[in-house]
A and B are shown apart, each in its own frame.
Chain A
């Protein structure tokens, strides 16, 4: 079982039956809503809603196992924002009496010259919200790939027309192939990890210079075999007349159903509603959000 297992799996669920466009719109709606709010509580609700959609799609929890990596991203955001937040300078209509609350000092009081480098509660909170945005988007994204058959996705992308312009099939192919190869590369990675551990490589030590060397033993085999298999793929494609100048047809047609209208309308209403809540009423927006008027 590969570590990163983002591959279409067959299941009969409401989400699976939706048109790819509806699911793409869902991803866009998540992006918009996650960007609208920055209060952790609101983002937590968004994440819960995404988890709700995932369970509606009957996606097993183990498919999201690798998401623990995100914990590091959240932690990184919390610390960096906690330290540097106040240097943003312009916080808009912030109260004059407002004072930053110091959580603790990275350079503790008992150390010589301490205490220094305060970690600000508000900054940490803001960093936490940035981290939660990443979590929300990372959770939502696989739902499209996990519940849409790759050829449906290809079909959908090839249907997009703007005037007489269409997305070139080569581009669509690259796009869908990239998804198809995520689990393959993940499996290669796991096997390489096994092989190197078997000869005594110890992953997860504390010496950073050694760790870089150790990681090399993983990336070189994985990259070389990925490049080689990409080369094999081009040969396989050419023997099957890839790029022949004909109109492509598809066995499977994707159908737009009544439910898609409903879901799309709902998604647009929710997204616009959230934008209005956040921008006009300031709901779900931290009072000390840095102003960036560029």
Chain B
């Protein structure tokens, strides 16, 4: 199961109307159960790439296959059952009069029976700890809560793939933590998680695979460990190493060669190095 490709792009190229090229022959294979971080500077084509994964954008050239379906010929509403897409700004989707109504809207569209709707919505709201506010008006929520509500409305659909477009931008430390804990939980649950982000610390801590985008091409596709070893690639894309990796880099001159990803790892590695 873990090796099956759920999203595959073949020679994917995309130009926006007006001829601005945003993606050029991207070949990727996202397997089930991966936790992929897509990083790159602004305008490198990250969001354009993920918008192809649920058919919001159709390739100018090449193909995108989602669970065996060609996105060119499949409706977005159909692909929305496979790929859940959480947008950066929750205010672009919230329209209902209550939290519960907003979170259950997608399920109702899929014409499920009332019981399933109730159950899946409640579970999704619980996952983002908004269940107690289910009768509240969404506008009465804080920005962080609205972001979580938008996430819940996608979670309720129980899609095997989840795309998070810059989920932590503009969020405080606590909400960031909550969102990431949720993503980790979903990943542990066997779902495929794709995350577009600038937050290198998050990438280091959670992702199992990193795709680096630059000028519309995937310039690097490897584990976080290996990506952080390639300083030049990261530098050329205008990205910075996560703090932990930076410290390790600074210690290189003193014979320290590891690339730790988390604080614990760094501490452990340092201690073993000192002790030996």
Residues of A with Cβ closer than 8 Å to B? 1, 60, 62, 65, 188, 191-192, 194-202, 216-218, 220-221, 224-225, 228
Give the complex CA separation of A3 and B95 in angstroms: 21
A201 touches B18 (CB 8 A): no
Bound: A65/B154 CA distance, A: 32
Contact A199 B106 (CB under 8 A): yes
**Chain B contacts for A188, CB-based, 8 A:** 92
Check if B92 sits within 8 Å of A198, measured CB to CB: no
Alpha-carbon distance between A188 and B75 when the two chains are bound, in angstroms: 22
B106 interface neighbour in A60, A62, A192, A200, Cβ under 8 Å: A200
Q: Are B92 and A195 touching (Cβ within 8 A)?
A: yes
**Contact A192/B18 with A197-B77, A197-B80, A200-B77 known, Cβ cut-off 8 Å:** no
Whether, in the assembled complex, B246 has its beta carbon less than 8 Å from a beta carbon of chain A, the answer is no
Closest to B93 in A: A195
For B91, the chain A residues whose CB sits under 8 A away are: 221, 224-225, 228
Q: Most chain-A CB neighbours within 10 Å: which of B17, B54, B94, B95?
A: B95
> B72-87: which residues lie under 8 A (CB-CB) from chain A?
75-77, 80-81, 84-85, 87
Asked if A221 contacts B94 (CB within 8 A), the reply is: yes
Q: Is A199 touching B109 in the complex (CB atoms < 8 A)?
A: yes
- List residues of chain B with CB under 8 Å of any chain A CB: 16-18, 51, 54, 56, 75-77, 80-81, 84-85, 87, 89, 91-95, 105-106, 109-110, 139, 153-154, 157
Q: Nearest chain-B residue to A5 (Cβ)?
A: B18
With A1-B18, A199-B93, A200-B157 as contacts: A194 and B56 at CB distance below 8 Å: yes
Whether B139 and A224, one on each chain, are in contact in the complex, defined by CB atoms closer than 8 angstroms, is yes
- What secondary structure prevails in chain A residues at the interface with B? helix
Residues of A within 8 A of B89 (CB): 191
CB-CB < 8 A to A224: which residues of B?
91, 139
Closest to B106 in A: A199
B16 in contact with A1 (CB, 8 Å): yes
The answer to whether B109 touches A65 (Cβ under 8 A) is no
* A191 close to B92 (CB less than 8 A): yes
**Chain B residues within 8 Å of A217, by CB:** 93, 95, 105
Partner among B75, B81, B92, B154 whose Cβ is within 8 Å of the Cβ of A192? B92
Given contacts A1-B17, A60-B18, contact A216 B95 (CB under 8 A): yes
Q: Which residues of A contact B106 (CB under 8 A)?
A: 199-200
What residues of chain A lie closer than 8 Å to B81, measured between beta carbons? 200
Distance of B164 from chain A, by nearest CB (Å)? 12
Known pairs A191-B92, A225-B91; A198 contacts B18 (CB<8 A): no
Q: Is the CB of B17 within 8 A of A202?
A: no
CA distance A191 to B47 in the complex (A): 12
> Contacts A60-B18, A65-B17, A221-B92 given: A197-B56 contact, CB under 8 Å?
yes
Q: Which residue of B lies closest to A192 (CB)?
A: B92
- A199 CB to nearest B CB, Å: 4
Q: Distance (Å) between the CB of A201 and the closest chain B CB?
A: 6
Residues of chain A within 8 A of B54, CB atoms compared: 198
* Alpha-carbon gap, A254 to B36, bound state (A): 54
Closest to B75 in A: A202
Distance to closest chain B CB from A121 (angstroms): 38
**Please, how many angstroms separate the alpha-carbon atoms of A218 and B92 in the complex?**
8
Known A192-B92, A225-B92; contact A198-B16, beta-carbon cutoff 8 A:
no
Q: Are B18 and A199 in contact (CB under 8 A)?
A: no
Q: How far is the CA of A194 from the CA of B18 in the complex (A)?
A: 20
What 7 new A-B contacts, CB under 8 Å, besides A218-B95, A225-B91? A1-B17, A191-B89, A192-B93, A194-B87, A199-B153, A200-B106, A221-B94
User: A199 touching B16 by the CB < 8 A rule?
Assistant: no
Contact B109 A201 (CB under 8 A): yes
Q: Could you tell me the distance between the alpha carbons of A228 and B106 in the complex, rounded to whole angstroms?
A: 25
B156 to chain A, nearest CB (A): 9
For residue B85, which residues in chain A have a CB less than 8 angstroms away from its CB? 195, 198-199
Residues of B within 8 A of A197 (CB): 56, 76-77, 80
Shortest CB distance B107–A (Å): 9
Instruction: Decide: A196 near B110, CB < 8 A? Known: A1-B16, A62-B18.
Output: no
CB distance from B58 to the nearest CB of A (A): 12
A200 touches B18 (CB 8 A): no
Chain B residue at smallest Cβ distance from A191: B92
CB distance from B54 to the nearest CB of A (A): 6
Complex: chain B residue closest to A65, CB-CB: B17
In the complex, the answer to whether A194 meets B51 with C-beta atoms within 8 Å is yes
Chain A residue, CB-CB nearest to B54: A198
How far, in Å, is B37 (CB) from chain A's closest CB? 20
Provide the bound-state CA to CA distance between A212 and B106, in Å. Answer: 17
B110 touches A198 (CB 8 A): no
Selected contact of A221 from candidates B51, B80, B93, B154, CB within 8 Å: B93
Known: A60-B18, A62-B17, A192-B92. A202 touches B56 (CB 8 A): no
Residue numbers in A under 8 Å from B95 (CB-CB):
216-218, 220-221
Query: In the assembled complex, how far is the CB of residue A59 from the closest CB belonging to chain B, in whole angstroms?
Result: 12
Q: How far is the CA of A160 from the CA of B95 in the complex (A)?
A: 43
Smallest beta-carbon distance B177→chain A, Å: 25
- Residue numbers in A under 8 Å from B77 (CB-CB): 197, 200-202
Residue of A nearest to B55 (CB): A197
